[in-house]
Structures are given as C-alpha cells and as structure tokens.
Amino acid sequence: MTLLDPLDQVIDAKTVLGDISQGGAALTTRSKLLPGESVKFHVHMPGGRTASGHGKVRWIAEERTSFSRQVGIEFLDFGWGGFGKLQEELAGGAPSFAPTSEAGVLDALLLGACAAVVFLIYRASAAHPSSLDGSLPVWLIAASAAGLALLKR
C-alpha cells in the first residue's frame, strides 16, 4: 500500500499492510501521521490491479523498537471501481457485480448512462442520418470506450 498526502506527494511507498477490510486497513509505516489526518492511498493487489482512494487516520500505536508505528486508516472513498476490486480480492478473486456501496451504485449508474448514450446516438442516426454529419462512428466508439474504461477501473 502506498500512502500519499492530499496534494499527491508520496508519504510512504513501502507501508506494510497488516490487516485490511472493506472499511479500512491497519498498516505499519515510518511516517509521522496524526489521528484525523487525511491521506490518499493505492492498494496494490495481486495481478497488478490497484485500488485508489482517500481515507482518514483513525488511530496510531507507536512501536518503540524500530521507529515504526501501527496506523489505522478508515477508507472514505475509492476511485472508479476501486471498491469493487477490493471486494473481489477480499472474496478470493470471485467477481461481484452487485453494487453494495455508494461507489458501486455510482459505477453502475455511469455504465448505464454510457449504454443509454450509445443507444440514443444510434437511434438518432437512424432517424436522421444527416444530423450527425458522418460522425456516428466516432461518437459510438467514444461512448463505447468510455463505458469500457469505467468497467475496467
């Protein structure tokens, strides 16, 4: 897991993840973080996938021997599809298509909106072929690519 400050500067690129759940993570870091501090994070998962988002430091426990500390991070938000990636990983890699959080619902709504745009562009081009001035393939490809990009994230 990589920790960043709110301005995207790396705080610690080599944190040791001790425990992770859908609500947060416990990790070991050498960084001096304070309870209540906002952080951004990248959770690196097997297969090269990354889930990114931001959270808040909830607790800190100093370790006196190695200048490291245990830190509890509460997950507040994930980037596109990040929560779904984390859920899949925690479930043993089995894909889950049921939106179970606000982020999952938003992802599903955006994918539906992309599909609706593709359909409406296609329908408009069939009813009024000259209305798109030959740009139908460009619009269809762009809308389809946007939908696929959302699906892959």
- Domain limits of the chain? 2-90, 102-152
Band (pLDDT 50/70/90 cuts) for residue 97 is very low
Q: pLDDT band for position 136 (50/70/90)?
A: low
- Is pLDDT larger for residue 118 or for residue 103? 118
Cα–Cα distance list, 141 to 72, 121, 135 (Å): 43, 11, 10
**113's tokens:** 């909106």
Residue 115 confidence (pLDDT): 76
Q: Are 35 and 60 in contact (CB under 8 A)?
A: yes
Q: What is the DSSP letter of 35?
A: T
The pLDDT of residue 134: 58
More confident residue, 128 or 69: 69
Cβ atoms of 82 and 51 closer than 8 Å: yes
For residues 97-111, give the mean pLDDT.
Answer: 59
Sheet of strand 10-12: strand arrangement: 10-12, 2-4, 38-44, 50-62, 69-78, 24-29, 16-20
Q: Model confidence over 50-93: pLDDT tens digits? A: 778 889 999 998 766 667 888 999 988 877 666 677 777 767 65
- pTM score, whole prediction: 0.55
Residue 102 confidence (pLDDT): 52
Q: What value, to the nearest 5°, has the Cα angle with vertex 150 and ends 145 and 153?
A: 120
Look-up: residue for tokens 């049921």? Answer: 98
CATH of region 2-90: 2.40.10
- Closest Cα partner for 35 from 77, 76, 73? 73
